[in-house]
């Protein structure tokens, strides 16, 4: 994207946000269209079933509609929206019981081999939701520690510690040792 179109899209986004804050549902529909691909892709990294992805996306956009007044425009809207979506994903993951195989989410894995994917998904389900979350963002989404800290409002050390502990637990599980 060139500089002029980036500036144009930012001003269009700012116009839509201002109209949404005044209660314009058409502007909100346009704002959704502008960002829905990102929200669905991100939710798809945490949930495999289309109805779950759609529910998280709906929760995200409902939260955006009701909390848009809290967006301060100190960072790009995309960052704020990503944080809202991640919080919705995280809240849903916290509600799930990792030991309940039927309710456990089918998390994204970095391979197309079905057997390996099932093994990775099983291992990821053993992790605490925050640990799962950090690993999926680091390795599934390719985010840096700084990006995760900034977008989630966590400190850099918290991100690093979570990732370290999660990797350590996964390593023990792969070696056959008790977690």
Does any domain span residue 39?
A: yes
Co-location of 118 and 86 in the same domain = no
| Residue with the larger pLDDT of the pair 118 and 11 | 11
pLDDT in tens, 104-124: 333 344 445 556 656 667 777
Over residues 41-62, mean pLDDT: 90
Nearest residue to 141 via CA among 75, 70, 43: 43
Sign of CA dihedral 44, 165, 167, 144: positive
Is pTM, for the whole model, over 0.75? Answer: no
Whether residue 42 is predicted with pLDDT greater than 80 in this model: the reply is yes
| Residue with the larger pLDDT of the pair 130 and 58 | 58
CB-neighbour burial class of residue 115 (10 A; exposed 0-12, middle 13-18, buried 19+): exposed
Co-location of 28 and 64 in the same domain = yes
Does any domain span residue 166?
A: yes
Pick the last residue of a domain from 39, 67, 95. 95
What is the span of the domain harbouring residue 123? Answer: 109-179
Which CATH number does the domain housing residue 135 bear?
1.10.10.10
Does any domain span residue 103?
A: no
Domain count, the chain: 2
**Per-residue confidence band for 63, with pLDDT thresholds at 50, 70 and 90:** very high
Co-location of 20 and 81 in the same domain = yes
**Per-residue confidence band for 103, with pLDDT thresholds at 50, 70 and 90:** very low
Say what the pLDDT of residue 34 is.
93
Co-location of 90 and 6 in the same domain = yes
What distance in Å separates the CA atoms of residue 39 and residue 48, rounded to the nearest whole number? 14
Co-location of 139 and 59 in the same domain = no
Co-location of 130 and 88 in the same domain = no
Does any domain span residue 117?
A: yes
Pick the last residue of a domain from 95, 126, 151. 95
What distance in Å separates the CA atoms of residue 107 and residue 117, rounded to the nearest whole number? 9
Co-location of 132 and 74 in the same domain = no
Co-location of 91 and 114 in the same domain = no
């Amino acid at each position: 994207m060139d500089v002029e179109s980036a500036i144009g899209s930012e001003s269009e986004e700012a116009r839509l946000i201002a109209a949404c804050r005044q209660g314009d549902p058409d502007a909100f529909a346009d704002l959704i269209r502008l960002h829905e691909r990102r929200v669905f892709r991100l939710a798809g990294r945490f949930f495999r079933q289309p109805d779950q992805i759609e529910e998280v996306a709906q929760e995200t956009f409902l939260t955006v509609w009701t909390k848009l007044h809290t967006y301060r425009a100190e960072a790009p809207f995309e960052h704020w929206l990503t944080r809202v979506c991640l919080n919705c994903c995280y809240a849903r993951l916290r509600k799930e019981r990792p030991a309940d195989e039927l309710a456990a989410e089918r998390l994204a894995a970095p391979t197309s081999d079905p057997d390996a994917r099932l093994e990775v998904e099983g291992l990821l389900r053993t992790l605490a939701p925050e640990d799962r979350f950090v690993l999926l963002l680091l390795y599934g989404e390719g985010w840096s520690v700084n990006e995760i800290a900034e977008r989630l409002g966590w400190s850099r050390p918290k991100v690093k510690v979570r990732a370290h502990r999660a990797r350590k637990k996964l390593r023990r599980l792969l070696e056959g040792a008790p977690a």
